[in-house]
Structure 1
Amino acid sequence: MLSNSFILPARAAALLALGCLGACSTPSSEPTVATGSARTADSLGTAAPVAPANSPLQVVAQFREPQIVGVAVLPNGRIFGDFPRWDNNPVAPVAEIGPNSSLKPYPDAEWCKWDETVRNEPQKHWICPQSVYADPAGMLWVLDPASPGIKGTVPGGPKLVKIDPATDKVVQNIAIPASVAPTKSYLNDVRVDPEAQYAYITESGIGSLVVVDLKTGKSRQLLARHKTMLGDTTLNIRADGKLLVDPSGKQGQFNADGIALSHDRQYLYWKPLTSYALYRIKTEALRNPTLTEVQLVAQIEDLGKVPASDGMILDAQNNLYLTAFEDHSIKRRTPAGKIEIVVQDPRLEWPDTFAFSADGRTLYVANSAIHKTATWNQGVGRQDQPYHIFKMAIGK
């Protein structure tokens, strides 16, 4: 379990500024797969939340550790998970998830290796992968901010990697330079447009967007420290009714995090995590290097108030799904701006990131229980259930 170690939260690169940096400890063994019921108790003896009788959530996989934050689902149904190196050194930081919650290092064991023997090859190994994403063409992308323990980037390590699932081989590896991903940066989540050949990334440490030209491999940092990129510590955002306060007594600030790309790929949506604000901008503007920051800012649309959330995804009807961690729910913002509850279930212990099935009828979500990790509980982890991947049917 994660109950007695100093665990850093998902999407928490902003804590670099707060001094909450943690450590990447000695390598752990293979992740322990939880095989018992959802009422498995933690070291404090508390019972895990129970599924409501009418909950549409189905358990796809569950793990006692390490902590999962990301999920990706390919058109053929293959499922991948992401387990960043925050306080441990998982054998499979990127894994294909098989029957009975089994984890297969992906694309192979060598890529998943990170120790003293490979320190001189930061572009050939997962250092601290943060996001897995399946693009509309069926390619798998892995975003690696290369900041183990969120202590600062490993020189030469930040990268965006494309894998062809047909061969399980890396076919493109784009290094993100220090001018775009400096030491205190934390590349967080990614969306890819395979037609325009661009990738869009939220960066949480400084608070910025990163735009990558996949044809040239060149990347640009945009809107760094702009107000639309920064979390707000005045809102008293809570999880399980408790403020997110770090060991130094400071309230957590989480910058640009959630990201979504419209199905026509004309708009990019994003929000800081500790914020109730939602923004979007035309991707055409992000791809135009001649625009000044003032011109770029003028094209940002403020879409009003939404729940505090971590992950986001858009369906084909432009409904925006949000992982609303404050009240254990998934919510949906309609194109008209109406906020609807999709599901509320106490097992949604900090729902994190989403993925859709190829037909858009099944929604997957990873459950990372960030608020119960030791960082936010005076050094004592209170994770009282396995980390999950859930799925649920979405009506059309």
Structure 2
Amino acid sequence: MAAAPADSTATATAAAAGNSPLQVVAEFTDPQLVAVAVAPGGEMFACFPRWDYNPVFPIAKVGPKSTLTPYPNASWCLWNDSVKNEPLKHWICPQAVFADKAGMLWVLDPASPGLKSIVPGGPKLVKTDPKTGQVLLTIPFPESVAPRKSYLNDVRIDLQHNYAYLTESGMGALVVVDLKTLKSRRLLASHASTKAEKGLVIKAEGHPMLDPKGQPAQFNADGIALSTDNTYLYYCPLTGHTLYRIKTAALRDAALTEAQLGQQVETVGKIPASDGLEIDANNNVYITSFEQSALLRRTPAGKIETVARDARLQWPDTYSFAADGNLYVANSAIHKTASWNKGVGQPRQPFRIFKITLPK
């Protein structure tokens, strides 16, 4: 498909499928968008990592007409030499925003600008109150949990057991955090389920994802979803076609050895390559299919259903369920960035946040 100009209302209209269920709720020419979270009160938040761009507001509240307000404030959004001695008080390279069912907004910061290596002392999970803009809790990750080449990717919050579950895509692992003690553990770091599938070349819009040396992209554990009853954690490597799950009770059991924990991993089934997962009350697993420019869902019976297919879905990235049941998705166009095009960024449509009212 021909690439669209960077930003054009006419292009946006032309690119929309005539019967597309997708509604654009925000769009940005730049910087690059990777994640969206909708709080129970309806407030919408977006995440702009420090990859190819240097966003002024890495975490922002999204207002009418795609306006952005720094979140929780301008100081947290600042990262330069003047604040480098305060890595736990600033967004270094945030990757995920997640709204829990109690209305709190969590931000995961792997602290690895340009995906190169972590800023020592910078990886953290931060709990905030979107109603007041207050930072309530900052959980730092030691280097044993977030090594120099790690990249903490996404998070889900289990309010029933007071735990957080994370994927780490840089080296491949899951991370669990006891929100009572604030202690974290790195798990399944040598298990195949957290690793990119060997020999697989993922594509988007037919474009093979090759690094500057011509090597296929190797993205490890990435997509993550917590079942509604908090019993199972679902996850998948981005470079992969397999969905896995594990009982959260096993992840919380510090007495299990790595081998014993590995035996608890279940292969759910084959799925298209996916960056983001979410799950509904009926245990349908929603899949962002960047290879097909589509939003899919896998039923408990294993059937893959198409929720939306639209040329504007240029690398659909992460989901967020709103309290009203609408599903939001962020569009990151990762395959258009310079990193995957021999150093030259490609023409693209705006980065968008879509909303979809799900069929019953």
**TM-score under structure 2 length normalisation:** 0.96
Mark the runs of 5 or more structure 1 residues left unpaired by the alignment: 4-32, 41-47
* Structure 1 residue 166, shift from structure 2 partner: 2.2
State the AA in 1 paired with 2:11. R
Query: Which one of 273, 283, 294 corresponds to residue 329 of structure 1?
Result: 294
Alpha-carbon distance between aligned partners in 2 of 1:194 and 1:133, rounded to the nearest angstrom: 13
Assess if the C-alpha contact under 8 Å between 2:327 and 2:358 holds in 1.
Answer: yes
Query: Which one of 336, 354, 357 corresponds to residue 390 of structure 1?
Result: 354
Q: Within 5 A, what are the aligned runs for 1:1-396?
A: 36-37=8-9, 39=11, 50-360=15-325, 362-396=326-360
State the AA in 2 paired with 1:324. S
Assess if the C-alpha contact under 8 Å between 1:49 and 1:346 holds in 2.
Answer: no
| Helix, strand or coil at the partner of 2:193 | helix
State the AA in 1 paired with 2:251. L
* Structure 1 residue 129, shift from structure 2 partner: 0.3
Mark the runs of 5 or more structure 2 residues left unpaired by the alignment: none
Alpha-carbon distance between aligned partners in 2 of 1:301 and 1:76, rounded to the nearest angstrom: 35
Assess if the C-alpha contact under 8 Å between 2:193 and 2:237 holds in 1.
Answer: yes
State the AA in 1 paired with 2:344. V
Alpha-carbon distance between aligned partners in 2 of 1:70 and 1:38, rounded to the nearest angstrom: 25
Alpha-carbon distance between aligned partners in 1 of 2:337 and 2:150, rounded to the nearest angstrom: 22
Aligned CA distance change for structure 1 residues 222 and 306 (closer, same or farther; 3 Å): same
What does the per-residue CA deviation read over 1:179-215, in whole Å, with 9 as the maximum and x for residues that have no partner?
1001000000000012211000000111000000000
* Structure 1 residue 171, shift from structure 2 partner: 0.4
| Helix, strand or coil at the partner of 2:15 | coil
Aligned CA distance change for structure 1 residues 310 and 177 (closer, same or farther; 3 Å): same
State the AA in 1 paired with 2:190. R
Alpha-carbon distance between aligned partners in 2 of 1:225 and 1:291, rounded to the nearest angstrom: 15
State the AA in 2 paired with 1:39. T
Alpha-carbon distance between aligned partners in 2 of 1:99 and 1:160, rounded to the nearest angstrom: 28
For the aligned residues, what is the CA RMSD? 1.5
* Structure 1 residue 221, shift from structure 2 partner: 0.2
Aligned CA distance change for structure 1 residues 49 and 306 (closer, same or farther; 3 Å): farther
| Percent of residue pairs identical | 62
* Structure 1 residue 247, shift from structure 2 partner: 1.1
| Helix, strand or coil at the partner of 1:153 | coil
Count of matched residue pairs: 356
Higher relative contact order (CA 8 A, sep 6+): 1
Alpha-carbon distance between aligned partners in 1 of 2:33 and 2:78, rounded to the nearest angstrom: 18
What does the per-residue CA deviation read over 1:333-366, in whole Å, with 9 as the maximum and x for residues that have no partner?
0011111111100000000000011032x11000
Alpha-carbon distance between aligned partners in 2 of 1:51 and 1:154, rounded to the nearest angstrom: 40
* Structure 1 residue 298, shift from structure 2 partner: 1.1
Alpha-carbon distance between aligned partners in 2 of 1:393 and 1:133, rounded to the nearest angstrom: 20
State the AA in 2 paired with 1:154. V
Alpha-carbon distance between aligned partners in 1 of 2:339 and 2:119, rounded to the nearest angstrom: 23
Assess if the C-alpha contact under 8 Å between 2:110 and 2:152 holds in 1.
Answer: yes
* Structure 1 residue 265, shift from structure 2 partner: 0.6
Alpha-carbon distance between aligned partners in 1 of 2:132 and 2:330, rounded to the nearest angstrom: 26
* Structure 1 residue 49, shift from structure 2 partner: 6.5
| Helix, strand or coil at the partner of 1:327 | coil
Alpha-carbon distance between aligned partners in 1 of 2:162 and 2:328, rounded to the nearest angstrom: 26
* Structure 1 residue 38, shift from structure 2 partner: 5.2
Aligned CA distance change for structure 1 residues 289 and 49 (closer, same or farther; 3 Å): farther
